[in-house]
Amino acid sequence: MPQLIHLDVSELEAPEPMSVILRELHQLKSDTALRIRHRKRPLPLYSLLQEMGFTYHCVEFDLCEFAIYIWPKNDHLLGEFCHQSAKQEQAS
């Protein structure tokens, strides 16, 4: 069953959010995705994710509140799980 690891980097100063996220990605187990709470869109992270074989979905809640879901690019079921989780989060 798919799982989400919730990670809040919204209070960290650069470059700590990137370091924390990359560390978690290296430890990510199968059927697991990251759900990141961030205060901005981490644009430099996005190209790195693609190079590392991950993909993402970003949801903007407010000017300074974002949720970024990250999962392995080839795991379509986990991708659907992340998109569904994001829809539920937006609806609440």
Residue 4's pLDDT band, with cuts at 50, 70 and 90, is: very high
Q: Evaluate whether 17 touches 38 at the Cβ level (below 8 Å).
A: yes
Number of domains in the chain: 1
Q: Which of 10-14, 30-34, 59-63, 78-82 has the lowest mean pLDDT?
A: 59-63
Alpha-carbon span 25 to 47, nearest angstrom? 14
DSSP 49: H
- pLDDT (average), residues 22-50: 95
**For position 19, which CATH number holds?**
3.30.110
β 54-62/3-8 pair status? unpaired
User: Which is it for the CA torsion 48, 29, 83, 40, positive or negative?
Assistant: negative
Q: If you average pLDDT over every residue of the chain, what do you get?
A: 95
Angle between helices 43-52 and 16-26 (to 10 degrees): 20
Total Cβ atoms within 10 A of residue 79: 19
Q: For residue 53, give its domain range.
A: 3-91
- pLDDT exceeding 90 applies to what percent of the chain? 93
Residue 92's pLDDT band, with cuts at 50, 70 and 90, is: confident
